[in-house]
Amino acid sequence: MFSDCPEARSRQDERAMAYTAEKAFNLIEAAHKRGRLAHAFLITGDPGSGKSELATKVINLINPPAESGGMNLFGEPEEVETPKLEELEGDLVRIVRPKSKSRRIVVDDIRGLEKSFYVASATGKWKVGVIEHADRMGVGAENAFLKTLEEPPSDCLLLLLSDAPELLLPTILSRCVRLPLMASVGGRLVSESQQELLASLAGLARQGMGKIAHALTLRAEFSALLARRRAEITKINDLALKEETSKYKNTTDGEWLKRREDFYKGHTESEYLGERDRLLEVLIAWLGDVVRQKCSVERLDFPSEKETTAMVAAGNDLSELLQRMDALENLRANLETNVQEQLALEVAFLKAFA
């Protein structure tokens, strides 16, 4: 499954062509002014890249809020605070999020969204559907959503937000205008597991990079983190399968349930591989910050780790640091093949950190 859609390569390509949130908005604004606004946008990026904020600006662009017209005590126009995305939800804006225990978007959520598009609205107003964590749609929800994508009602806009677009069906990807966002100037927001990995890297830096024992310790911590995330992903998908089985076991045959079981096994593997890629990207970005520190570049992916990466930069030659980064890039490429995961990790970590 993963080899048919090598997400590591696609993620790297997206990062290369990523926009700032401001640039992405300018592109949408220009299309709107020309009357050439697409009916569906897939806004992607790491947490903190501004996906929700961009969606909010787009909604306010096509459905401008009423001007307050008020003045402050100094006779100056009163500044109107930009609302948060959830505050825009109402008759014109429908927001779909994962709600079930399995943290999935189910088919009823999508059908509710589609139904709202056919309710009459005021002249000149757009109906907007926002799907947060769109990659959490189950197969039934994705198939229902495809119908809306293929035959969109007029004056309706769909905004899909995702930090794992590789989990969406190719048919959905092909029908959306993709807008990958780069990390904000303040650096990346990191998940709990990514923060743990940064703590492990800080420990390596304090102990001293360049020793076999320290590199193997980091590899062991990375592997343990992967194992825990696999278990968490498996638990969520097992729960989703259990919910479906309980709901449909008396109305479907055993073959259908077997196909659903196979689907969730495949989805678990896809999610795990995506998580592995994101954790590997943290390693590469962290070493990238070390190289930037060596070259006196101010913008960092992890500003909170500035002292740590500066310490590593001071103790290593630039050519050596670039070779270490190459080892991680080679690891990313090798993991797209049928290489044995733990062996590939051990070899790469020795080259990158010993």
189, 45 Cβ separation under 8 angstroms: no
Q: For position 7, what pLDDT does the model report?
A: 40
Q: Closest Cα to residue 48, out of 229, 226, 194?
A: 194
pLDDT tens for 341-353 read 999 999 999 999 9
Separation of first and last alpha carbons in the chain? 33
Q: Cβ neighbours of residue 223 under 8 Å, at least 6 residues apart?
A: 342, 345
Q: Is the pLDDT of residue 5 over 90?
A: no
pLDDT tens digits along 97-117: 887 556 778 888 999 999 888
List, for residues 53-93, the tens digit of each pLDDT value: 999 999 999 998 866 455 556 666 555 566 788 889 888 99
What pLDDT, on the 0 to 100 scale, is given for residue 121? Answer: 73
Q: Find out whether 5 and 11 touch, Cβ atoms under 8 Å.
A: no
Q: What is the mean pLDDT of residues 176-198?
A: 83
Alpha-carbon distance of 242 to 235, in angstroms, equals 10
| Least confident among 49-58, 169-178, 327-336 | 327-336
Cβ atoms of residues 310 and 321 within 8 Å: no
Token pair for 282: 């943290």
CA 291 and chain centroid, separation: 25
Q: How far is CA 78 from the centre of its chain?
A: 36
To the nearest whole percent, how much of the chain has pLDDT over 70? 88
Three-class SS of residue 317? coil
pLDDT at 17: 67
Domains of the chain in sequence order = 19-65+80-180 (3.40.50.300), 192-353 (no CATH)
Task: Please name which of 86, 148, 136, 85 lies closest in space to residue 112, comparing C-alpha atoms.
Answer: 148
Spatial neighbors of 59 by CB under 8 A, at least 6 apart, are 85, 88, 93, 128, 130, 159
Tell me the pLDDT tens digit for each residue of 246-298: 877 777 777 888 888 888 888 888 889 889 988 998 999 899 899 989 999 88
What are all long-range contacts of 265-270, with beta carbons under 8 Å and residues at least 24 apart?
266/1, 267/167, 267/237, 268/230, 268/233, 268/234, 268/237, 269/1, 269/2, 270/1, 270/2, 270/166, 270/167
Residues 6+ apart with CB under 8 A from 204: 214, 215, 217, 218, 353
- 156-162 sheet: strands from edge to edge: 93-96, 127-131, 156-162, 40-44, 177-180
Higher pLDDT, 333 or 349: 349
What distance in Å separates the CA atoms of residue 233 and residue 294, rounded to the nearest whole number? 38
DSSP 19: B
For residues 65 and 82, what is the distance between their CA atoms, to the nearest angstrom? 10
Q: How many CA atoms lie within 13 A of 157 on its CB side?
A: 23
